[in-house]
Structure 1
Amino acid sequence: MTIQAITMPKWGMTMTEGRLAAWLSQEGTRISLGQEIMEVETEKITNVVESQVEGLLRRVVVDQGATAPVGALLAVVAEMSVPEGEVEAFIASYAGRAGSSDADGAGDPSPRLVEAGPHRLNVLSLGGGEATPAVLIHGFGGDGGTWLFTQDALAQNRPVHVIDLPAHGGSAPTVPSGRVEDMAAAIIDALDALGIAKAHLVGHSLGGAVALSIAASAPDRVSSLALVAPAGLGPEISTDYIEGFLAADRRKPMKEVLSKLFAEPDAMSAEMVENVLRFKRLDGVPESLEAISGNLVSGGRQALDLRASLAQVNAPVLVVWGEKDAVIPSSQADALPGTVKVERIADAGHMPMMEAAAAVNRLLSSHLAGADG
């Protein structure tokens, strides 16, 4: 007779605990593989968790609203035929597991600074194997944390590298021009430094424009493109968001700005706001962000037009967009070349990889596998 555990997941290298925001399935009900069973609050956002097991949700061990360490037992799945004593013994067996070396990230890879030509870029690498590596590129004002729910999911059978753009995250501000082409060149320098001849590029927003620029200037380095709410495919963009992000220097205005990224702003954590404010205070960052924004937006419209570049990409291309995107409208995914696969995510905004992580991870995994050939 099988007893199965539902535990606190770990997303990202820095996560040590999570808050169980809500149970979406009740004790005594049946759950199936892939069913949304709970919401867990991380340092950035509250994320829905899909079940990795199926059966009867026999016992809820941690109530909603409680905080538990990574790896902690949250609930038990077992049929009623399993004696109560065995369920109790199973629960007791988990008492010392949470926070152990397996759960707290001991031995996990850490971000590192990579000397890439004239650049010092912050890189986090996971995974291994013979499959083509994937490189994940975040958007304007973001960092590698954008891929909190993505990197590990894609790294099950391939190397996956998250690279902070210049003047973002832990990378030095080495592109004073702020031009997308120069940031693309920095990522190519990073590929050289990492010994990557060819990669799947996954880019979000500004990172999507950077990925497209790489595909245009160095097509032999690109196995496929996956563009999540990319910049450069239409004129509309929320200048309120860009200008507000540049101007915000306190918690309240920054929270109001960042809320535009999500279909459900209440899911965003206070820690995310604080992290962005700390980042904006680093030497050289405000000036770099101003330069980048000047190359992104002009006269209230996007200054980039990369549709022609997209039409010339020979590699497989996937475009993913949240239908409730308030920064760059999802209508810009309309009338793309027929070779481009477009997927829209209902009830997600500009950050579908965070708001609908499981769905986006399935799309990306399938896209990469197909492009591997």
Structure 2
Amino acid sequence: MSSTELPPVLATTVTPRVGAVRVAAGERLRSVGLPGITLSIRSRPPAREGLPPALYVHGLGGSSQNWSGLMPLLDGLVDSEAVDLPGFGDSPPPDDGNYSVTGHARAVIRYLDAAGRGPVHLFGNSLGGAVTTRVAAVRPDLVRTLTLVSPALPEIRAQRTAWPTALLAVPGVARLFTSLTKEWSAEQRVRGVMALCYGDPGIVTPEAFREAVEELERRLALPYFWDAMTRSSRGLVNAYTLGGQHGLWRQAERVLAPTLLIYGGRDQLVGYRMAHRAARAFRDSRLLSLPEAGHVAMMEYPETVATAFHELLTDTGELVSSSAVGAGS
């Protein structure tokens, strides 16, 4: 889209609703209708006018709620929105059933173009890290900075603990897994996910655990839950096999935006050894290594992530002071 073109008008914007979806204090949730997709957007009112926009993109099986711990810590720095990718959180499946990394990236781009919010400070975790890498590579005009938390970029030798996720991409495996685990309670499933994603699951409070169980119960009741998981897993595996200019590592090399990379030493899904390769691939990168963190550092150590992002803004000259905002910059 050229600089002289206006962004397309949002097809529909539904007033904020809570329903069965948890909305933390200070947040609101709204649905945005776009051609072929409807996206649920979680946001916080900006601390003041004129703050630059930020968009957060979750990982496989996650939702915009994954960013609820970090967003309040950045209230004075950015105007925060987090998206539920199609088929996840409170967003229904895409009309075309496209759950590829490119399909998810297209949804993010479509929203940013329609909302006219770009360029944004773009955040991505896991699958969302692959999606936002692709967005930053193909649409540099939409991205101010890129912050990647355990991005799902291709590994030659994936960790054994990551194999079950990859196996979901195999036809029939999701149906078999559903059959074999039909007696599992939501509590058992959540404990398993937390054991896999957190460096220390013991830091999860009882309240946070109950909320995660309630959210999983809600999503397991959705008729498309396993389809979205399976097809997104398949889309990620397929993205790993792409070569040439469409390969994720090649696209990482094309990213122009200053990039903050955050890796956890106890990550069981994305190899800690990939951190230095990523730091070499992204041309303007900073690396934060958290030895005790797992796969979701923004949930485990939100204050540390917020501090690192603040330093990124200071280092790159992107930090907007209150006096500058007051002057209308």
TM over 0.5, shorter chain = yes
Q: CA deviation at 1:278?
A: 2.5
The structure 2 residue matched to 1:195, chosen from 116, 121, 131, is 116
Q: 1:24-173 maps to which residues of 2 (within 5 A)?
A: 105=25, 108-126=26-44, 127=46, 128-173=48-93
Q: CA deviation at 1:294?
A: 0.8
Q: List runs of 5+ in structure 2 lacking aligned partners.
A: 1-21, 320-329
Q: CA deviation at 1:283?
A: 2.5
Q: 1:173-188 maps to which residues of 2 (within 5 A)?
A: 173-174=93-94, 176-188=97-109
Q: CA deviation at 1:356?
A: 1.3
Are 2:227 and 1:287 equivalent residues in the alignment? yes
Aligned to 1:234: 155
Q: Is the 8 A contact 1:138 1:204 kept in 2?
A: yes
Letter in 1 for 2:307: R
Deviations 1:48-105 (A, max 9, x none): xxxxxxxxxxxxxxxxxxxxxxxxxxxxxxxxxxxxxxxxxxxxxxxxxxxxxxxxx4
Letter in 1 for 2:313: L
1:234 aligned counterpart, secondary structure? coil
Select between 139-148 and 113-122 the one with higher mean Cα deviation: 113-122
In 2, Cα distance between the equivalents of 1:302 and 1:233?
Answer: 5
1:160 aligned counterpart, secondary structure? strand
Aligned to 1:207: 128
In 2, Cα distance between the equivalents of 1:180 and 1:147?
Answer: 20
Letter in 2 for 1:286: W
TM-score (norm 1): 0.66
Cα gap change, 1:172 to 1:14, in 2 (>3 Å): closer
Q: Is the 8 A contact 2:85 2:104 kept in 1?
A: yes
Looking at secondary structure, tell me which structure has more helix per residue.
2
The structure 2 residue matched to 1:263, chosen from 199, 211, 215, is 199
Deviations 1:12-57 (A, max 9, x none): x745xxxxxxxxxxxxxxxxxxxxxxxxxxxxxxxxxxxxxxxxxx
Deviations 1:104-143 (A, max 9, x none): x4xx441000113321111122215323211010000000
Cα gap change, 1:143 to 1:278, in 2 (>3 Å): same
- Greater Rg, structure 1 or structure 2? 1
Q: CA deviation at 1:193?
A: 2.8
1:272 aligned counterpart, secondary structure? helix
2:28 aligned counterpart, secondary structure? coil
The structure 2 residue matched to 1:333, chosen from 250, 259, 275, is 275
In 2, Cα distance between the equivalents of 1:163 and 1:14?
Answer: 13
Q: List runs of 5+ in structure 1 lacking aligned partners.
A: 1-12, 16-104
Cα gap change, 1:368 to 1:353, in 2 (>3 Å): same
In 2, Cα distance between the equivalents of 1:207 and 1:114?
Answer: 19
TM-score (norm 2): 0.74
Cα gap change, 1:134 to 1:369, in 2 (>3 Å): farther
Taking CA–CA contacts closer than 8 Å with sequence separation of 6 or more, which of the two structures ends up with the larger relative contact order?
2
Letter in 1 for 2:164: D
2:76 aligned counterpart, secondary structure? coil
In 2, Cα distance between the equivalents of 1:267 and 1:158?
Answer: 27
Are 2:253 and 1:311 equivalent residues in the alignment? yes
The structure 1 residue matched to 2:295, chosen from 350, 353, 371, is 350
In 2, Cα distance between the equivalents of 1:370 and 1:163?
Answer: 27
Q: CA deviation at 1:241?
A: 4.3
Cα gap change, 1:283 to 1:370, in 2 (>3 Å): farther
Are 2:141 and 1:223 equivalent residues in the alignment? no
Q: 1:353-372 maps to which residues of 2 (within 5 A)?
A: 353-371=298-316, 372=318
Q: Is the 8 A contact 2:257 2:284 kept in 1?
A: no
Looking at secondary structure, tell me which structure has more strand per residue.
1
In 2, Cα distance between the equivalents of 1:283 and 1:135?
Answer: 28
Identity %, equivalent residues: 27
Q: How many pairs align?
A: 269
Q: Is the 8 A contact 1:179 1:292 kept in 2?
A: yes
